[in-house]
Each structure stands twice: as structure tokens, then as C-alpha cells.
Structure 1
Amino acid sequence: MRSDALFNRMRILEAAAEVFAVPGDTSLKSIARRAGVGQGTLYRHFPSRESLVLHVYWEEVEELVKAVSPLLNTLSPPHALRVWLERLLSIGRCTPEFADAVRAATGALTKQCRQAHQPLLDALSTLVVANHRGGTIAPGTTAHDVLLLLCPLWQVGVGENEHGREARLFDVLMQGLCPADQ
């Protein structure tokens, strides 16, 4: 990548992180404006909002991806899946743009969106396969299914009463996914 293109990419990522950090206008147009680039430049680097968001939060995604092996080496497959999903749920609850991007990418039809989403899906697939091998997950369950089931939990409101609801709903999700472990 040319140095000017790399510089633009870094400016876009920095601007997006700044824009996502505060409530308000988080449109791609405002991110391009803040980065000092045109919308065409933004779209050349990040063809979709989901792609940009997942790159902004790449460190979190990378940590989730790297956590799979240590979790499976130290915990049973259903417990590893539970801990990993709790981490993913926590990230999505703290960063709504990330949750929105994962939710959109889960149903995405575009190649670019699927590519940005793939490392997360691959990590989750590893956990799901480990549970299939152990006979601890509902037959036929896929990583995509798990994400579709998890996404609504990001929409549970915030507050003391809602945290209890989120935990209760997460338990219901895990009981449905891994009934043999209950």
C-alpha cells in the first residue's frame, strides 16, 4: 500500500474511533469529514460501515480470536463457549457500534462485510465444533446460529434491573445451546 493511502487509512480509523466514542452523528460522511478525506477515499478502504467498525474494534476482535485456544485448553467446551460469548456480549454492550456491525454482518450479503466478520465467525465456529465433538451442544447448531441468538441480548436496556434480565436471558441461551451441560 502506498504511504499516502496508508496514511489516509490510519486517519480514517482514528477519526472513526473518535466519532464512535461520543454520542451523536456517527455517519460515514462525518467520519470522512473528520479524517479530512472524501467519501470515495473512505469507501475504497472500507466498503461498508460494518467493515470500518470491525476494523476500529480490531483489537477486541483479535483478543476474542486469540482467546479460543486457551479457553478450550483450560475449560470444558461448553464452559469455554460460555466464557467466550460473555466476553463478546460485554464488548457489544459497551460499544453499540460494534454490536450493530456484528448484527449486520451476521445477515450480510456483501463479500466485504463477510470478510471483516470472518475471523470472529471462525473463532466461534471452533468453539461450536468442540462442543459438537463433545456432544454438548444442540445438534446442527452453527456459529452463525449462535450469533443470531446472541445479537438480541445487546439490545436489552441498561440499568440494574436490566443487567439481571441480560444475565437471565444469557442463561436461557446457554441452556438451549448446551442442554447436555445443564
Structure 2
Amino acid sequence: MDEPGARYEIRYTWTAPAWLALALAVLIGVGFVPGAEPPGNDHIELIFTPYVVLVLPAAALRRTAVHIGPRGITLGGLLIFRRPEFLPWPEIVSVTFWDGMRGPGRFRHSELEVRHRRGPAPPPQPATSPALRELDAYLSTHVDPAFVESFRGTKGSTRSMALCKVDAGRLERAVRAFAPQVHVFGDVGRP
């Protein structure tokens, strides 16, 4: 089951947001040079300092964001703000990777979501609105019921990949090597 080279580890690294944080750190640092006049009295460094403090150490330390191995997937935490989460293969239902332009400003955004089961699945809730019942009826004729049933009672664990460089093809190969039963969705299968 552990094919050579099948393991995949995604690390935080120097991406565009990290370089922006470095530039902001330099700008903030200029304000502390003796005799330097900061531009205006707005103290904008108070706004940007938390961003710099979060992003620069993550990029510089190159900590593990995601590890895919023979036992399961470990979703790393960003410094002290999120603890790593280990999800074993028998609990994982799907892995989804999104990479693209999102939001009103059309910023590049990438995200990894792992849908999994923890404990007993909650009983299915009946659709309460007519629109949901109509959607359920439509999907029942177009989607395999076993596929739909595999997602009932699952939860999602998501990590932003904005500070990572992800090889989507390698991500898909790693998941397929260790757990061929896991569904893989999104922007995978391309470098």
C-alpha cells in the first residue's frame, strides 16, 4: 500500500502573500529608524503587524501544512492558532482541492477540504422546504444513491493553501495510492 514516492507533504513556503508580508515588515521597520518620519500619523502599522506576524514565520519556518501518508491525512496548523488534525483513511470520504480566482476582488485563493466521519453518523434530516424536496427529487434521478449516501453525516476540515505551492496531480496520486475508495474532487490531476 505504501508505494515509493506516494507520500506527499505540502509545506508553507514563500508565495505572493508571504512576499507581501515581507514588504510590509520592511515598511513597518522604516518607521522605527531614528529620525525617520512615518507617512502621516495614522499608525497603519497597527493594522498590518498582525498579518506580518502570522505570515512571515509560517513561510520562513516551512512547517507542514498537509501530510498524506499510508495511515491517513494530517492537516497541519498555522503556528499556535490551529492544532494539527489527523484523519485516518477509514474515516475519510473525499478530498477536494480548489485553486482559482474567487470573491468580489477576484483574488487567487486555494483551499483543501477533507470530508470525513467522526463517530456515528447523525440521522438524515428530512428536507423542510419545498425547494429542497424538489432538489432532492431531481438529484435522486441523476446521481447514484450510493454516492449520495456516502456523504451523509460527514464533516469537513478545511485548510487554506494560500501560503503553499500545491502540485494537484501529485496530491491526487497520493490519495489514490493510499485510499482508492476516497473520492477526489476539484482542481486535481493538473500541475
Same fold (TM over 0.5): no
- Whose helix proportion is higher, 1 or 2? 1
Larger RCO (CA under 8 A, 6+ residues apart): 2
Q: TM-score, normalised by structure 2?
A: 0.27
